Amino acid sequence: MQERSDEQLMAAVMAGDQVALAALVSRHHAPLLGYLYRLVGGNLPLSEDLVQETLLHVLRQRTYQAGRPFKPWLYMIATNLARDYFKSAEARRCRGESDEEEALLQLYDSAPGPEEHALAAEQGSEVRAALAQLREEYRVVVVLRFYQGFSLQEIAETLHIPLGTVKSRLSVGVHRLRNMLDPVQKGVK
């Protein structure tokens, strides 16, 4: 039997089909968590909350139009929720008090020794810190493109921006990442 598409599952969910909801959530739980986890700088409890909020929005708003591509719509909601969170006063306060991300950046800036550097690299901390340093508009497109495997068109639909803007943001984003993640080359140049 052919697997139902996201759009077909979502139409069934709108009609109250629990089986369709289970299939849809099983399919998107892990990728969505991965996306939000990287978007919020590796804060797992926060990304779990945002995943739940995103899916609650999907069910509560009921603004899904039949036939519309589901994945860009889902990630648009997730991205907007993450942005809202960072804009909120609570987020600013939390970041001001004890920020793991800040600590990572300090780690990155404090020129670690070879052993520390190797350890950090092993855990992906350096990549994490580099992504955290990117401005949000570049981080979103880089994560969607290189971690979620989105096409350029899907990114444009998700963020409601022109295709050319997607390309330029990706270009800026990856060049900045290269400068941060490949300091040897940067030094040579």
Partner 1 sequence: MLHSQSSWPFERPQQLIDALREQGASPEECADLLPALLRLSEWQAPQPSPADTRLLLARLAPELPVYSPVRQAIREHKQHRVTFLLSTARAQVSLFGLGFWLVSALITLIGAAVVLRSGVVSEQALALPALVLRISGPLLSYLGTMVAFRGRGSRVLELELVCLPSPLQLTLARLVIVLGYDVGLGLALSLLLWAGGSGQVLALLLTWFMPLLLVTGLALLLSLRLSIQAAATLAYGSWLAFLTIGTVSNLQLLQLTPALLVLPGCIGLALLAIALLRMRAEMHRLLPRI
* 185 vs 7: CA distance, rounded Å: 45
Site for partner 1 in 1-40 (CB under 8 A): 13-18, 21-22, 25-26, 29-31, 33-34, 37-38
Q: Number of helices (H) and strands (E), helices first, in the chain? A: 12, 0
CB of 89 to partner 1, least distance (A): 26
Total Cβ atoms within 10 A of residue 129: 22
Which residues make Cβ contacts (< 8 Å) with residue 151, sequence separation at least 6? Answer: none
Q: Does 154 bind partner 1 (CB under 8 A)?
A: no
* 7 vs 189: CA distance, rounded Å: 49
Segment near partner 1 (CB under 8 A); pick from 47-55, 63-71, 92-100, 102-110: 47-55
Q: Does 182 bind partner 1 (CB under 8 A)?
A: yes
Q: Report which DSSP code applies to 110.
A: T
Among 67, 96, 149, 187, binds partner 1 (CB under 8 A): 149
Q: Does 119 bind partner 1 (CB under 8 A)?
A: no
* 151 vs 170: CA distance, rounded Å: 12
Judged by the rule CB under 8 A, the positions of this chain that interact with partner 1 are 13-18, 21-22, 25-26, 29-31, 33-34, 37-38, 42, 44, 51-52, 55-56, 59-60, 62, 121-122, 124-128, 131, 145-149, 152, 166-167, 170-171, 174-175, 177-178, 180-182, 185
